Amino acid sequence: MNALKKLSFCALLGLGLFAQTAHAESLKDTINYPSWLKINLFDEKNPPNQYVGSASISGKRNDFYANYIPYDDKLPPEKNAEKVALLRARMNAYSSLERVLITKMHHRIVKALQVKNNSVSHLFGLVDFLTSKSILAKRFVDTINHRVYVMVQFPFIQPEDLIAYFKAKRIDLSSTSATHLSTLLNKALFHL
């Protein structure tokens, strides 16, 4: 009897998952979302250099983000939600960059930098720098579900930007090293 109960429970769970999947598929086809958002939300393979964040338009201050983004009562709720969505998109970009640069490209970047000390610190600094370069590329407001979606992207990283960044960190990056590093970073960012 217990085995039958467990089997019934598993069948119900399976039906629930199937219903959720079917509902997600119907959402993909029925909601009037732009194609860039549908791809980022429903496609398993996100396009390179697209990082999406969203936030609820509630008209209330979100206490979790209060330390990072001050809520402005003078702005419409949609604009305050957009600030939170932008932070979330940049956090997604940061996480992706961290995974790629620290785990997959660590040795090549350190070699291009030609530094011996604090290489991990420089890598995290580079992730911070690149994330700060991200730009708001697209925005969509879902008035039915009261959400704002934004997408951030990275511009091509120029050698001059890297030289200026590392000069501020007291690292003298040669033009050749900066060119090599910008090529590495652009390949990572754009999957060229």
Residue type, 179: T
pTM here is: 0.75
* Topology annotation, domain 33-190: Thiol Ester Dehydrase; Chain A (3.10.129)
Domain range summary for the chain, segments of one domain joined by +: 1-30, 33-190
What would the pLDDT profile of 168-177 be if each residue is shown by its tens digit?
Answer: 988 888 999 9
Q: b/e per residue, 143-170, with b = 16+ CB within 10 A?
A: eeeebbbbbbbbeebebebbbebbeeee
Tell me what the pLDDT averaged over the chain comes to: 80
> What's the pLDDT score for residue 4?
46
Residues 120-141 pLDDT 10s? 888 888 999 999 999 999 999 9
Secondary structure (DSSP) of 72-90: -TTS-HHHHHHHHHHHHHH
Distance in angstroms (rounded) separating the CA atoms of residues 180 and 112: 7
